[in-house]
Chain A
Amino acid sequence: MSVKINVTGEVVTAYLGGELDHHSAKEMREEIDSAVELNMPTLLILDFKDISFMDSSGIGLVMGRYRNLQKSGAQMHITNIPQGIYKVMKLAGMERLAQLEKGE
């Protein structure tokens, strides 16, 4: 599990890596939330390029961040979503909460 944060102006990008399940979600969530709290972005980008596995715990993570961002009216994009993970995102209807962009 890894989270790398990049801040450019009002955009916070969280580059997520490793397996995203119930075990790893807590730590990932805390790192994203502290970056959001500190920088108050208008856009949060979650980059899934290096996520090798995700179950519905990842959906919980996305939904939770969406709820937090709504308080300040900020947007969320999810980028570089690997094929198998895109399937879980679509099943959960995540396109209603965030702009989804498939990876290669």
Chain B
Amino acid sequence: MITNKFTMTMLSKSSNESFARSCVAAFASQLDPTLEEISDIKTAVSEAITNCIVHAYCEKIGKIYINGELLDNNTIKLKIRDTGCGIENISQAMEPLFTTVGGERAGLGFAVMQSFMDSVKVRSVKDKGTTVVMTKRISPRYKING
């Protein structure tokens, strides 16, 4: 069951990378995560947003849609969507070190998302866009003073 949710739309400007991960981190903080869990979520979001900017829109300006949900089993579910060029071969794109742009990109975006979140699903249609859905369960912590 969904206990809370948010939706935001932003332009695919690189200056929004920091803004997007900070927003998601602030939303996730309602689940009382550890600093490490927050850092994991911020890193995964940053990878997904950077993919939209660098790959989906090829540094041109488009819209990025972010949906966040808190589920009643202490889980955060994030959906990051673009309407860019799409990924032709998803399994190849998800291979560590695979990159289409070379140079200064490590090709580790999806590897980081998979390592830092519990699940990562990617749907993509060529010339229509890509949606990444990620979940992470936050370890419940016993609260002192109730």
- A: residues with CB less than 8 A from B are 19, 21-23, 25, 29, 53-57, 59-61, 63-64, 83-84, 88, 91-92
Contact = CB atoms under 8 A, between A and B. Distances in A.
9 contacts: A21-B18, A22-B14, A22-B17, A23-B18, A53-B21, A55-B112, A57-B104, A91-B115, A92-B106
Contacts, number: 67
Given A56-B105, A84-B36, 8 more contacts: A22-B53, A23-B17, A25-B104, A57-B105, A60-B105, A60-B106, A63-B106, A84-B40
A55 B105 contact: no
Given A22-B17, A83-B36, A91-B111, A59 B106 contact: yes
Nearest to A25: B104
Contacts of A64: 103-104
A92 B36 contact: no
A25 B15 CA distance: 12
The 8 closest A-B CB pairs, nearest first, are A23-B14, A84-B39, A59-B106, A55-B46, A56-B108, A60-B106, A60-B104, A22-B50
Interface string B26-44: 0000000001100110110
A91 B108 contact: yes
B37 to A, nearest CB: 10
Interface in B14-70: 14-15, 17-18, 21, 35-36, 39-40, 42-43, 46-47, 50, 53-54
A88 B43 contact: yes
Nearest to A54: B43
Contacts of B46: 21-22, 53, 55
Nearest to A55: B46
Nearest to A63: B106
A22 B15 CA distance: 9
Given A88-B43, A91-B115, A19 B18 contact: yes
Contact of B50 (A19, A21, A29, A54): A21
